[in-house]
Structure 1
Amino acid sequence: MSGRYIIVFKDKATRAEIEQFIDHLIAEGKIHAHYDALFKGFSASVPDNLVSLFAVDRIIDFIEPDGIVTTQV
């Protein structure tokens, strides 16, 4: 089983490190959207067994569940 998450990299993460991370993820998950305007990251479906492994990776700033955000005016 997998869930959908937003994965954000630390500012110090290099392009090569991020590409290597993405290659690892693609082997078992699916990337939905890349974010690079405000932060380095992406949304992806990640197998549950990889979430805790990725969370302690030295280039990851944070991982959080992806979802819809709404506001009221």
Structure 2
Amino acid sequence: MSELTLSAAIENIYASLKANNEDLDAHIAALKVAMAAEGAKEAVFDATKLAQNNRQGRKLMQSYFKKRGVAVTFAA
């Protein structure tokens, strides 16, 4: 089984968020593996693709991911 690229892992998370957070923890774990493989220190998400694109939604996402060991930033 081939490893996921960082961009593919992020796309899977967008899909999970749109599907009411289905399998989100599994996708976060895959994202961590992809980040380690590519040497990334943080995951960059496009805020416009989020289900809740407001400050509260972004902060909630950052907090949830941080608890699972992933630093999240948002692209403008």
The bucket for the TM-score relative to the shorter chain is 0.3 to 0.5
The structure where helix makes up a greater share of residues is 2
The two structures have a TM-score, normalised by structure 2, of 0.35
* Higher RCO (C-alpha under 8 Å, 6+ residues apart): 1
Larger radius of gyration: 1
The two structures have a TM-score, normalised by structure 1, of 0.36
